[in-house]
Chain A
Amino acid sequence: MAHDSGGKSFELKAMLRDERFWKIAFQVITLIVVLALLSFFLGNLNRNLIQQGRAFSFNFLLSQAGFSIGESLIQYRPNDPYWRALMVGLGNTLTLVAGGIALTTLLGVVAGVASFSKNWLLHKLSRLYVGLVRNIPLLLQLFFWYFAIYGALPRPEEQINVLGLAFLNNRGVYIPWASSAVLAVLGIAATVGAAIAALWLWQWRTKIRIDTGVGGQAQLTALAVLGLVWLAIITLGMNWTVPEGVEGGGVTGGLRLSREYVAALSALVFYTSAFVAEIVRAGIQSVSKGQWEAARTLGLNAGMVMRLVVFPQAMRVIIPPMNSEYMNLTKNTSLAFAIAFPEMYSIATTTYNQTGRPVEVFVVLIATYLILCLLITLVMNQLNRTVQLKER
């Protein structure tokens, strides 16, 4: 008997010393703690909601919203249901994200490449921009653009006319645009399609020239034709309307970008581009010096060295962090609600204020931003795969 109990305690001791036991025990404890916390919180939530007489349900999305929205991509009237109001918000968020990503990429890459410029002024300017903008909060910059810059534009009666093509006043910016929304969408689709086709043609041509050393003339002709067709569609098919100033203030025709939209877009682009510029700079710096020197030895000029040798290699380092910058930009569009731009978050807050349903609105909001971020990640991962080092 004595021997038996000694054996048992020995087994217990052995178990306590065994790392395998602790690995399982630790996970079980973690799981229990997390589950206990979750059930505590969710139980409280349930009790609190029942006490307020608002059991968890998404039915409110079907009831009438009753508030009007300043700008919208789709048809919306105040007696439409909440889900439609939220779709309007999503549409506005998407326009901000799309404009933001396009302009941020442009400005960020330019600023990043500019820091390698031989021109001392341009180099210093790029460094100054990054050092200044990254250290000032985005919300502050947003207010500055909205109140101090676009707010300081003249009233519609004294609006600024830019070359007869665009107008600026403190209600917004007016630019030339296609006469109808359908045409505008078609025009954008044609531009994107043409860009993809052109890229494909160019790669085809490069491949042929690498394989055979000659040819590619047919593809070049096709490219030229493509360019002409695109140009024809854009110039003639879009039925452009140019904004015209009205006597006594105001503008007719063209596209009005509201002051909220341009302020939000400017702040987001200006802020995020500073981070993108640093990413681009780090990416270019990661390309070894020998690559620059080898390219110069082959007789390429500075622009070609950057375009053909350095930048394609830098892309491998640049793309992964760009993903998180685009995600940040997407999430930061929610700040536009602080200047009353009716984007997703702003509509969601209004919905919460009217219905008093924080949990459901929060779920909708989280799901929307998670899906947006997921989509961006998917696209960027695809892009990442194409620029990665091709190894055997």
Chain B
Amino acid sequence: MTSATPDSFSSARPDAITLGPVAWAKKNLFSDWFNSVLTVVIVTTFGSGLFRLVSWALTTAQWGAIPNNFGLFMTGTFPSALYPRIWALLAIVCGLAGLSWGVLGRNVSTLFSRSVLIGLAVVCAFIILFPPTRPSSLKLLPMVALVAVAAAAGRQVARKFPGVGQLLSLAWFLSYFVALWLIGGGLGLTRVSTNDWGGLVLTLFTAVSGIALCFPLGLLLALGRRSALPIVRWLSTGYIELVRGVPLVALLFMGQVMIPLFLPLGSRPDRILRAIIALALFSAAYLAENVRAGLQAVPRGQNEAAASLGLNTPMTLGFIVLPQALKIAIPAIVGQFISLFQDTTLLSIVGLAELLGIGKSILANPTYLGRYAEVYLFLAVIFWFFCYAMSLASRKIEEKLNTDH
């Protein structure tokens, strides 16, 4: 009588087996002698390492270099009298980010779920308690509020007018030029020489500019390499393979020297612009390969179906192939953006005061001599945060665009 009767079937999931802590440890840590040895070795080595790290951080480490130079880390030698402009820029970015969040989340039942609220609370607590941000917490807290309010507003608006998303893309596009204006001045604002651009602001600015430039270029190169036209294909392939065989630092450094040589006598583009160009030209070659992989993954039937519907080549690419190819390539493309963001650190080698460059100049200050570990750990946390946020965003976009069943 062990055979299952039809009425005993149930579509509900089986109950999850929950293990007690001891049983869990036995299963996951001490299942056999090899695992037990591994566990003991890992716990002793990494435990002692962690203990030493924590005790170093709490006793020996002198964290003064970070709060005392927080302005430098964020904006470099940007004149402090003009900080309101940076704050305005931050407010614009926060507002747009909040609106985008609201618009993207218009179909979610509650925008402020428990985990989001906890996240916001953690951010607020961090702003109030973390010594470097404490002096400006009165300005940072409203920014958090702005994000939340904008998100709520964006959600309401997006529910009434579903087309608002395109407007938002336009706003993001325009905000780039507003940022350029707010940082660089001109048009009624005091000019700030690019020598005074620095810190996190410069890192983000070069990264965003590089990404914005390298994406269209990489797309064109990928299409060129996949093209049926031999000359276009050879040129694209040659460019991609040549650039991929050269270290970025060589391109950057020589770009600083060679770009002026390639231009008519006397014209000398700004060095930040030169760095951005080198960064974009370099990343475009890698991006092209990622996009090409996406293009190759689109079945040929899609091309043929489009052709049989009477679409010409540009229309086939724009409406049929590229949307599918880019969707497939998103993880790789974002990965390339992340590495472009990391590559901005190389600008410190050519003498720009982005985050790492500012770190170096602070460490050159006799007051903070030898505070390498503190400063570099702080920078590592900042870079980690942004890179991790990007990969998280890529995963979200992937989920959103996923039409598989």
Contact = CB atoms under 8 A, between A and B. Distances in A.
B384 A370 contact: no
B46 to A, nearest CB: 7
Contacts of B349: 139, 338
A110 to B, nearest CB: 12
Interface in B155-190: none
A378 to B, nearest CB: 13
A27 B342 contact: no
Q: How large is the interface on A (under 10, 10 to 19, 20 to 34, 35 or more residues)?
A: 35 or more
B331 to A, nearest CB: 11
Contacts of B246: 331, 365-366, 369-370
Contacts of B124: none
Nearest to B348: A139
Given A331-B247, A331-B248, A135 B264 contact: no
B19 to A, nearest CB: 12
A152 B46 CA distance: 19
B38 A119 contact: yes
A141 B379 CA distance: 10
A45 to B, nearest CB: 5
B226 to A, nearest CB: 15
A279 to B, nearest CB: 12
Interface stretch (B92-100, B110-118, B141-149, B251-259): B251-259
A140 B379 contact: yes
B245 A366 contact: yes
B43 interface: yes
Nearest to A128: B46
B302 interface: no
Interface stretch (B6-14, B83-91, B211-219, B230-238): B230-238
A143 B46 CA distance: 23
Nearest to B267: A44
Contacts of B379: 140
Interface string A352-391: 1000001101100110011001100000000000000000
Interface centre among B38, B228, B261, B338 (most CB of A within 10 A): B261
A334 B249 CA distance: 7
A327 B254 CA distance: 20
| Interface of chain A: mostly helix, strand, loop or mixed | helix
A51 interface: yes
Contacts of B42: 119, 121-122, 125
B250 A125 contact: no
A350 B384 CA distance: 33
B51 interface: no
Nearest to A377: B245
A135 B229 contact: no
Contacts of A352: 257
Given A135-B388, A369-B246, A369-B250, A143 B372 contact: yes
A31 B238 CA distance: 13
A78 B400 CA distance: 62
Interface in A24-76: 26-27, 30-31, 34, 41-42, 44-45, 47-49, 51
Contact of B254 (A26, A141, A362): A362
B222 to A, nearest CB: 15
B285 interface: no
B385 to A, nearest CB: 8
A358 B31 contact: no
B376 A345 contact: no
Given A44-B262, A137-B356, A334-B247, A30 B231 contact: yes
Interface residues of B, number: 56
Contacts of B260: 48
Interface string A3-40: 00000000000000001000100110011001000000
A349 B232 contact: no
A132 interface: yes
B262 A45 contact: yes
Contacts of B348: 139
A26 B383 CA distance: 43
Interface in A323-360: 327, 331-335, 337-338, 345, 348-349, 352, 358-359
Given A45-B262, A139-B348, A366-B250, A144 B231 contact: no
B345 interface: yes
B265 interface: yes
A147 B38 contact: no
A135 B384 contact: yes
Interface in A300-332: 327, 331-332
Contacts of A119: 28-29, 31, 35, 38-39, 42
B404 to A, nearest CB: 18
B346 interface: yes
B28 A140 contact: no
A54 B75 CA distance: 40
A362 B250 contact: yes
Contact of B265 (A48, A137, A152, A335): A48
A131 to B, nearest CB: 8
A109 interface: no
A121 B232 CA distance: 52
B232 A27 contact: yes
A31 B230 CA distance: 11
A147 B250 contact: no
Interface of A: 19, 23, 26-27, 30-31, 34, 41-42, 44-45, 47-49, 51, 117-122, 125, 131-132, 134-141, 143-144, 147-148, 151-152, 327, 331-335, 337-338, 345, 348-349, 352, 358-359, 361-362, 365-366, 369-370, 373-374
27 contacts: A23-B229, A27-B230, A27-B231, A44-B265, A45-B261, A48-B261, A49-B261, A119-B31, A119-B38, A119-B42, A125-B46, A135-B388, A138-B342, A139-B346, A139-B356, A140-B356, A140-B380, A144-B372, A147-B372, A147-B373, A148-B372, A148-B377, A337-B249, A345-B249, A358-B257, A366-B242, A373-B244
Given A143-B376, A147-B372, 20 more contacts: A26-B232, A27-B229, A31-B235, A41-B262, A42-B262, A48-B260, A51-B265, A119-B38, A135-B391, A136-B387, A137-B345, A139-B349, A140-B376, A140-B379, A143-B356, A143-B360, A148-B376, A349-B253, A365-B250, A369-B250
Interface of B: 28-29, 31, 35, 38-39, 42-43, 46, 228-232, 235, 242, 244-250, 253-254, 257-258, 260-265, 312-313, 338, 342-343, 345-346, 348-349, 356, 360, 363, 372-373, 376-377, 379-380, 383-384, 387-388, 391
